[in-house]
Amino acid sequence: MTTPPPPTRVQPSLEARAGSPQLPLELAGAVARLATFEPGPNAPALAAVTRLAQGYPGCLTLWGPAGSGKSHLLTAAVQAIRELRSGARPRDCDEAIRGDPAGTPNDSSTHDLLHLEGAAIATLATLVAGPRLDAFAFIALDTRVDDWGNPAFEEAVFRACHRARAGELGLLLALPAHPAETRIALADLRSRLLGAECFRLAPVDEVTRRRILASRAVARGLTLNDEALDYLLARLPRDLHSLCDFIDRLDRVSLAEQRRPTVPLLRSLMEAGGTEAPAALSDLAPCVLHRLQEIQVESGSTELPCGSPSDR
């Protein structure tokens, strides 16, 4: 069964927002795409990731400072494969654990993609153990410093590298540093990664950073004039994570308070630390509340989970 595409969020005008306060829901979010990645000096890396996302096998590693675009490219590559397969969804940690115990995908169009990041990385060894590895055609791993040095994790990555080298798998890795400087205990794995195609993502320059900030705002239905952009770039941290996170928070506050993203609103949000009160469960859309209740049942918890549904 083909999974329908996620709903597209349409931002109403400020006039249409008049009335009771509104709480925006992150149902679709700002999905990372290869087309929205600002390459700058990282055009060769973008070309290599695009080729891998088109179905070519092999192992590709990315490394660079925080906020240089590693996570964006990994997520965008998986999204590109989803679109190439007409609606396939990446198999995340929860889906993999709930899958066929034998590890055989139930539907080759939806269950042979593995995208892990954050705490979910720790499940890799379990998910690709034994014949299960053969079930995946593409694996994207957004790793952290602490993930390396774990024997079970490194053995799983090594086996994935072996399949990628044999032309059976597309493997995309984001590393905290160059393979030679990453704490890799397994010598054979270190050798494989040193021999794989590798790109350092350079930090974006000021012009590109400004363009990314404006584009992120437009994607959220916001228009930032030059004065607002100057104000933000002069005061926010320079990494892209911080800039994009602030735009997301600005979007929520602008919609909830029915205010345009002018300098006074930016100033008040910064003075408040960029935080706002969490939405009450009763304000959530039924589909979101239903998913939270499902998580409650699956975890055996007596309380509904807190935070964003996308929190890991």
pLDDT of residue 123: 84
What dihedral angle (degrees, nearest 10) is formed by the CA atoms of 58, 54, 113, 172? 40
What token pair was written down for 259? 């205010």
pLDDT of residue 59: 97
Domain total of the chain = 2
| CATH number of residue 96's parent domain | 3.40.50.300
Q: Are residues 177 and 223 in the same domain?
A: no
Q: Which two tokens stand for residue 299?
A: 């975890």
- Is the confidence at residue 230, as pLDDT, over 80? yes
180 and 107 in a common domain: yes
Same-domain check for residues 134 and 233:
no
- Whether the per-residue pLDDT at 222 is higher than 80: the answer is yes
Helix, strand or coil, per DSSP, at residue 296:
helix
Q: What would the pLDDT profile of 36-80 be if each residue is shown by its tens digit?
A: 788 888 999 999 999 999 989 999 999 998 878 898 899 899 989
Q: What is the mean pLDDT of residues 169-187?
A: 95
**Residues 167/181, Cβ–Cβ less than 8 Å:** no
Better-predicted residue by pLDDT, 117 or 50? 50
pLDDT at 14: 34
Please check whether residue 88 is in contact with residue 81, taking contact to mean a CB–CB distance below 8 angstroms.
yes
The predicted-structure confidence for 186-214, as pLDDT tens digits, reads as follows 999 999 999 999 999 988 788 888 888 88
The verdict on 57 and 148 lying in the same domain is yes
Q: What is the pLDDT of residues 134-154, one digit of tens each?
A: 888 999 999 999 999 999 999
Please name every residue paired with 63 in a beta bridge, in sequence order, or none if there are none: 175, 200
In a domain, 299, yes or no: no
Average pLDDT for the chain? 74
Mean pLDDT of 208-232: 89
- The answer as to whether 11 is a domain residue is no
Give the whole-angstrom CA distance, residue 210 versus residue 224.
Answer: 11
Share of the chain above pLDDT 90, in %: 35
255: pLDDT strictly greater than 60: yes
Please report whether residue 81 resides in a domain: yes
Give the strand pairing for 58-63 and 113-117. unpaired
pLDDT value, residue 63: 96
Residues 191 and 57 both lie in one domain: yes
pLDDT at 104: 35
Domain of 250 in residue numbering reads as 206-271
Instruction: Record the tokens describing residue 278, joined without a space.
Output: 């969490």
Interval 271-306: pLDDT, tens: 887 433 333 333 334 443 444 455 445 545 444 433
**pLDDT band (50, 70, 90) for residue 216:** confident
List Cβ neighbours of 166 (8 Å cut-off, separation of 6 or more): 57
Quick one: what percent of the chain has pLDDT higher than 70?
69
